[in-house]
Structure 1
Amino acid sequence: MSMTASHHELDLEALEQLSTGAHSMGTSAVRTCEMITGAVVLATCNRFELYLDLADGAARSAVPGTLTERDLAHAADEVARLIAVESGVSQEAARSAFTVRSGADVTRHLFTVASGLDSMVVGEREIAGQVRRALDSSHAEATTSPRLERLFQSASRASKRVAHTTHLGADGRSVVSVGLDLAEASIPPWRQTSAVIVGTGAYAGATVAALRARGCADIAVYSASGRAEQFARDRGVDAVTDLVAALGEADLVVSCSGAGRRNRTGSTGLPSDDPTALRYILETAAVVAAREDAGVRAGDAVPARPLVVLDLALHHDVDPGVGDIDQVLLMDLGTIRSHAPSTSSLPVRAAREIVAAAVVDFSDGETMRSADAVVVGLRDRIALEVEAELARSASSFSTPADLAAHEKSLRRFAATMLHRGITRIREAARAGEPLDEVAEDTATVLSMRWKGRRAVPGAAPTGGALPDRAVLSDRAVLSDRAVLPDRAAERRTAQQGDLAAG
């Protein structure tokens, strides 16, 4: 199942609050909720999603891997409780903020997200890397599971197919690119622009690449955590330790550290009105001081060139008051979302077709995987039945030749029944029918063959070969013409009878 809160349903401030503690939510969910056996958390600037692998509940559907509504509700309530503790919102508010999906809907949603079709800027490519890193994080925290592993790996493959076979994202549109496009009108030409990046994460790396692609060479990076030096060395940019001084020389600041946190009151779950409760990487006072210093150096009370500040962090890095400073233009994710360009329908349609096909392929594969597990169990059970029958009947044969003929007959019939069973199990899996019932029917027919042999007319009382056309009940025909009960057909007939009687 999955739980999703995104920019589609929530404003960014509410999303920011919900995602507080997102980095530890997967571990907490697996550790706290017994039925959650795996978790992958995808937290980006405009979405907070949890993908959960749940153990089958006691009241589960007969189809393997299918969860009941009760299972889903219980897991969602448990996760909402954990999120409420971390974020300070009520459990009811946390629960109502998320869209819960299960089954193929989870696959469809993740594949759509990974392909950039659900992004604030449709077609953006950063999300593909974020999906991969979400899985990597679950590896590091030991919270993934085989099913989640297959799901996320398949989502990444679908994303690559979209990227390679459509023009979606070919122009590099992303949150970063849209933000830089908006800034362009208010700064010098890119080759003359001095840019400061705050943060060393994925968005910071994408910003360096985007600035260079536009011709900007004067790039510096600042990190409150001390990682700027390594980041700068790896990318050939400058590292700065004095942010205020760097601001005084900058035309453009792109802040994407995500280190800013908005403290919340635990009782109401609402943002605090106390200004001292707010902590930002870039405070209003620091920007004012930087502008004044730059003005003094320039011999003017106000610097001639404006400063553009892009706040790309979900947990705002920049104090909103910065936007009130003269000749400072502040743009955040809300601004970018309102200016995100639309894309042509043709690439989007092609991408959605690729995603739809990938969802079908994945679902078919998972269905067959479930069927394979039942087949393995049936094969093992039939093997045990054959060995048990041979042990029971060995003393009934007077010569080794008769015993060998009997064993050959048993194994041939068992192989035939296994083949019939496998065929029906796969058919039932495709039709969404109960698999265990088909396996049980196969084993029952086989058992009836052993137990009913002396009751079959013409059967040898102490051994020997059985007749080829010994017919048992339940439409089970022995030997190579054995067939299994069609339970689905029987249910349909019963339903039709009920309707006729009604």
Structure 2
Amino acid sequence: MGFLAFGINHKTAAVDVRERLAFAPDQLSGALQRLRDETGTQEVAILSTCNRTEIYCSQDQLDVDGILVWFAAYHCIAVEELRACSYQHSDEQAVAHMMRVAAGLDSMVLGEPQIFGQMKDAWQSARSAGTLGPYLDRLFQSTFNTAKQVRTDTAIGENPVSVAFAAVSLAKQIFSDLRRSTALLIGAGETIALVARHLFEQGVGRIIVANRTLERAELLSGPLGGQAIVLNQIPDFLSQCDIVISSTASPLPILGKGAVERALKQRRRKPMFMVDIAVPRDIEPEVGALADVYLYSVDDLHEVIEDNMRSRQDAAEAAERMIVQGTAEFMQRLRALAAVDVLRRYRVKAESLRDQELAKAQSRLERGADPSVVMAEMARALTNKLLHDPSVQLKQMTAEGRAEALALAQELFALDDVTTIQGEP
């Protein structure tokens, strides 16, 4: 059984490509089942975030091209275009990659914590869709354990920095006194919740949370003394907002150029700072061309993020060593499981031979044969049958020049020394 990690991320694909290759939450279950059925993949999970879309597979024979072609066809993108911006890791490298992703070592923001929860969501989605088998499940569990160890035993999670933190840091650079600013947050997911908390801690004057459902917006805005609205109320409040930060799962833009232009006129050209964290984007890119708008996408936050990454480099080095150890331990357990399967099948075979010889012996005893003779012949016959196949295979392997076979056999059968064997076993 082999493992494959195939995908694209913020290092290999621009945001306009990533948004075309993202899986919306309501697509995941159907996509997972289609991927399994149409590619012959036994076990599969999909991780889809604003910075990456990755497919994790367990297959008897790894088929990278099959996954590539399916991925491209699903999102109606040319195979060669996807090939140019994708990457793949197999077996041990795939294990290490998943652990690095879950620990935040492969994120735009080094050590950011949200990816761990997103990886758990990917595991749960595959489990709910019925595409999470025993091998991939074991890999996810080992991935979670290693990522937790990284968080616990290194400083990579201290002084949290994230895309949300970077967005708020950039807002502080543009508006020196956030106490006089009003922030509109679109969405009510984990990223927006982090943005809201950071803004609240920085003393922003007013927070408005817009969401598809008013209840979710109220849950987020209430503890922060903010105001909750639904998405179709945004045009009524937009002119009041100095800061707009959006992160939803909407497949289509929520804010268009026309709505922003009208808001700017009401603001009498007072500047607006906007950050679109969503993939696909929530704010039409054309909004960035307006003279009094400062629009940033997740890719534009890279420079801000890098300034906050430097303090985590030492912790990252220690974390990488844990990834190496975690990968080695998982592969060792996996190999041990393979041995258990072989031993189980050999035990079934041996017990079948035993039962055959025992039945013969019991039949002879019932006919009055000498018990000591019957037992001796049963022991001899069983020994010969148990040794027959290993003997034939060992001779064949050595005849083919596979010299290591003798050493392995000696170790397997715990033989202290190779002695001369007389006669056929």
Same fold (TM over 0.5): yes
Q: Would the alpha carbon gap of residues 52 and 487 (structure 1) be closer, same or farther in structure 2, given more than 3 Å must change?
A: farther
Offset of residue 365 of structure 1: 0.9
Matched, 1:45 2:50: yes
Q: Is the 8 A contact 2:109 2:161 kept in 1?
A: yes
* Partner Cα separation in structure 1 for residue 393 and residue 144 of structure 2: 47
SS at 1:3's partner residue? strand
Q: Would the alpha carbon gap of residues 144 and 320 (structure 1) be closer, same or farther in structure 2, given more than 3 Å must change?
A: same
Count the aligned residue pairs.
390
* Partner Cα separation in structure 2 for residue 8 and residue 331 of structure 1: 18
Matched, 1:150 2:138: yes
User: Counterpart of 1:281?
Assistant: 254
* Partner Cα separation in structure 2 for residue 17 and residue 129 of structure 1: 23
User: Counterpart of 1:302?
Assistant: 269
SS at 2:174's partner residue? coil
TM-score, normalising length from structure 1? 0.70
Offset of residue 396 of structure 1: 4.4
User: Counterpart of 2:403?
Assistant: 492
TM-score, normalising length from structure 2? 0.82
User: Counterpart of 2:265?
Assistant: 292
User: Counterpart of 1:7?
Assistant: 10
Q: Is the 8 A contact 2:361 2:375 kept in 1?
A: no
**Which residue, out of 101, 104, 109, partners 1:113?**
101
Trace 1:242-257 onto structure 2 (pairs within 5 A): 242-257=233-248
Q: Is the 8 A contact 2:96 2:323 kept in 1?
A: yes
Q: Structure 1, residues 377-436: CA drift from partner, whole Å, max 9, x if none?
A: 11111111111112223344546853795599589x87xxxxxxxxxxxxxxxxxxxxxx
Q: Structure 1, residues 292-350: CA drift from partner, whole Å, max 9, x if none?
A: 23x3xxxxx333xx321111012111122222333321111121123322324321110
Q: Which segments of 5 or more consecutive residues in structure 1 lack a partner in the other structure?
A: 57-66, 262-279, 296-300, 415-443, 450-471, 477-483, 495-502
Offset of residue 177 of structure 1: 0.9
Trace 1:127-276 onto structure 2 (pairs within 5 A): 127-187=115-175, 189-216=177-204, 218-223=206-211, 226-233=212-219, 236=222, 237-241=226-230, 242-261=233-252
Q: Would the alpha carbon gap of residues 231 and 445 (structure 1) be closer, same or farther in structure 2, given more than 3 Å must change?
A: farther
Offset of residue 120 of structure 1: 0.9
Q: Would the alpha carbon gap of residues 101 and 288 (structure 1) be closer, same or farther in structure 2, given more than 3 Å must change?
A: same
Identity of aligned residues (%): 24
Q: Is the 8 A contact 1:20 1:87 kept in 2?
A: no
When structure 1 is superposed on structure 2, of 238-247 and 402-411 the one drifting more is 402-411
Matched, 1:394 2:359: no
Q: Which amino acid aligns with 1:238?
A: Q
User: Counterpart of 2:322?
Assistant: 354
Q: Which amino acid aligns with 1:446?
A: L
Offset of residue 81 of structure 1: 3.0
Q: Is the 8 A contact 1:259 1:315 kept in 2?
A: yes
Q: Is the 8 A contact 1:200 1:228 kept in 2?
A: no
SS at 1:4's partner residue? strand
Offset of residue 239 of structure 1: 1.5
Offset of residue 176 of structure 1: 1.2
* Partner Cα separation in structure 1 for residue 198 and residue 179 of structure 2: 13
* Partner Cα separation in structure 2 for residue 211 and residue 166 of structure 1: 27
**Which residue, out of 29, 32, 35, partners 2:38?**
32
Q: Which amino acid aligns with 1:40?
A: A
SS at 1:491's partner residue? coil
Q: Which segments of 5 or more consecutive residues in structure 2 lack a partner in the other structure?
A: 406-425
Q: Which has the larger radius of gyration?
A: 1
Offset of residue 156 of structure 1: 1.4
Q: Would the alpha carbon gap of residues 114 and 400 (structure 1) be closer, same or farther in structure 2, given more than 3 Å must change?
A: farther
Q: Structure 1, residues 44-92: CA drift from partner, whole Å, max 9, x if none?
A: 11111001122x2xxxxxxxxxx3xxx42xxx33333333333332233
* Partner Cα separation in structure 2 for residue 256 and residue 161 of structure 1: 30
